[in-house]
Structure 1
Amino acid sequence: MSRVVVVVGASSGIGRATARAFAERGDRLVLAARATTTLAEVRAECAEVRAECADVDVLTVPTDVTVPGALEALADAALDRFGRIDVWVHTAAVMAYGRFDELPERVFDQVVRTDLLSAAGSVRVALRHFRAAGAGTVILTGSVLGHITAPYMSAYVASKWGLQGLVRTVQQELRDSPQVRLCLVNPGSVDTPVYQQAANYLGRIGRPPPPVAGPQRVARAIVDCVDRPRREISVGRLNVLLRAGFTVLPGVYDVLVGPLMRAMGLSGRPTVAHDGSVFTPNPAGEAVRGGHLPDLRQLLAGPASAVGAALRRRLG
């Protein structure tokens, strides 16, 4: 029996890959994102991967998750069309680069509103229905940056740390409802367009530091959570190592993270200050991949020298 799956943030990156992955399984989909034209493209992609089906049931609902009542309206649309919701996936996220004191307050607040408060809103709406139904799965996408920190990404890091705390708290509250599950998928670096789409007040375009995973890998982890729900899943070869270094050797971590971020997490391409897609979607920049994986050799060229220089300054 096919499930009814809501995917919030389905227009790009992990959300778009996740929509395709559920379509391949024959699930009925409710796809939500800000850009109407992009949603139509994703619906067509889902129909294509299910070409053997006579009728692909995909509902698209243009949704700005930061607008009050938008998530409730999304749930109502799903129920009107399908009569139930089995899985709710929230992947919507935006990003901003800049030193904390130089990042406009309105940009910081909007990133937190999108990445943390809207995720909380999704959990609230989904749980209302799942508790009444007696079962259901909520899956959120966090980040390894919910366990560690990195300079120039204060709003995103604050959001992901907040999301980590929210999920753990709600999981404790759900112990009396074993058939209602809340899962958190924490990727490391992923090849998505979010870096190019980010607001930027730093002067250099961001990029995912290596090693970089494909969004389809994260999508598979999300789909797997439906069949085998887990409290938290880490996707990324270095996630455990980064968390260990942050916790066990905080002084060393703080010495190295700045040079490594500048060498590996920022490109050499300059940019003027801009808001990116934080407030308004950019359909032209939305895709499954961000085109970062082919550049891994270039990304790996500078880290060793950056680490060496940082250690020499530390020991000098």
Structure 2
Amino acid sequence: MSRGWKNRVVVITGASNDTGRATARALARKGVQLVLASRREAPLGDLVRECESLGVRAIPVHLEGDGAESMQALAWEAVRAFGHFDAWINNAGDYLTGSLEETPDDAFRQLLETHFLGTVQGTRAAVAWFRRQGYGTLVNVSSSFAGGTAPFVSAYAASRHAVRGFTASVRQELLDTGIHVCTVMPAAVDAPLWHHTANYTDWRLRPEEPVHAPERVARVILRVLREPRAEVQVGLPLRTWGGMAGLLPRTWWGAARARHSTGERLTPTAGVYGDVSSRRKWPLRRLLVVGGVMATAAFLRGKRARERFSARIVHALGV
């Protein structure tokens, strides 16, 4: 995409979700031609009309699933309409909360299929055409959970770790081919997703702070398309997530559970609590200060405590 935006062609899966919509709008304003794919036809049609009102051509593709045939058909549709495509963004996503025992097998499997296997098949379809062209940029959208964990999101965290690892491996395979393979890892996004996501905890929940506006994530995706980078984070660095969890696991997981739960009971699968806003300020400084005080206290307790603390630092930072 370094040759400029005008008349470039970009494919976006999960185009009707908030990050997909914000990215499509931002690209349309740059003059990029779009192929927009989603399972939801009505919001997809609205997005297509909005993008075309900005003076670009936008092709809607209704996906029946995330399998190989659907993704290959999407690639063919892009080539049929424009003759090629310059970039492909795998952005389809969902959310699920629940303990390991409470989460139904079907729900666990479906999330993995949407996030991981959908990304795999989208990547395979895109790379096949990029190979023929000799160039292209692939962006796989993962999550801050690709470098961290939290209670009650084992399916979600596993799927996001899988996307990150898969993308890194493909990136190594495609070095020096003219094909760029990138991972964008945002924290929680301010979106209606939280109102209808599957929730098997019996508690009304809120997303982990900080919550970002989808437009912020879209700006990062555009920067990656313009100047490809292997991995880009949106929000708290992944090492901070892993470091906090590794150094003070009980404290971190307890705080995560307290932040995630509103204390209000509900019927399972009724959705996550809707008090979500990217305008809220996350007290990061306060959390870091408290963590520093607790870490210092642990360090001063004695030799054995210092040895355990040092081992956790090594483990948390991966050194």
TM-score using structure 2 length: 0.82
In the alignment, structure 1 residue 149 sits paired with structure 2 residue 146? no
Q: How far apart, in 1, do the equivalents of 2:50 and 2:129 lie? A: 29
Percent identical among aligned pairs is 33
* Contact 1:264–1:303 (8 Å) recurs in 2: no
**CA offset digits 1:204-243 (Å, max 9, x no partner):** 2332222222111111111111110000001104544223
What is the Cα deviation at residue 44 of structure 1?
2.4
Q: Partner residue of 1:210? A: 209
TM-score using structure 1 length: 0.82
The structure whose RCO (Cα within 8 Å, separation 6+) is larger is: 1
Q: How many residues align?
A: 287
Q: Partner residue of 2:277? A: 292
The one of 240, 255, 258 aligned to 1:263: 258
* Contact 1:203–1:270 (8 Å) recurs in 2: yes
Q: Partner residue of 1:231? A: 230
Superposed CA RMSD in Å reads: 2.8
Runs of 4+ in 1 over 6 A off after TM superposition: none
Q: How far apart, in 1, do the equivalents of 2:263 and 2:31 lie? A: 43
Letter in 2 for 1:273: P
Structure 2 CA distance for partners of 1:224 and 1:251, relative to 1, 3 Å:
closer
Q: How far apart, in 1, do the equivalents of 2:217 and 2:211 lie? A: 11
Q: How far apart, in 1, do the equivalents of 2:64 and 2:277 lie? A: 27
Q: How far apart, in 2, do the equivalents of 1:47 and 1:243 lie? A: 43
Q: Partner residue of 2:314? A: none
Q: How far apart, in 2, do the equivalents of 1:19 and 1:206 lie? A: 29
Q: Partner residue of 1:20? A: 25
Greater Rg over alpha carbons, structure:
2
Q: How far apart, in 2, do the equivalents of 1:94 and 1:236 lie? A: 19
Gap regions ≥5 residues in structure 1: 277-288
Letter in 1 for 2:214: P
Q: Partner residue of 2:3? A: none
Q: Partner residue of 2:308? A: none
Gap regions ≥5 residues in structure 2: 1-5, 302-319
Structure 2 CA distance for partners of 1:99 and 1:125, relative to 1, 3 Å:
same
What is the Cα deviation at residue 66 of structure 1?
2.7
Q: Partner residue of 1:163? A: 163
Letter in 2 for 1:18: T
What is the Cα deviation at residue 256 of structure 1?
2.1
Q: Partner residue of 1:284? A: none
Q: Partner residue of 1:283? A: none
In the alignment, structure 1 residue 32 sits paired with structure 2 residue 37? yes
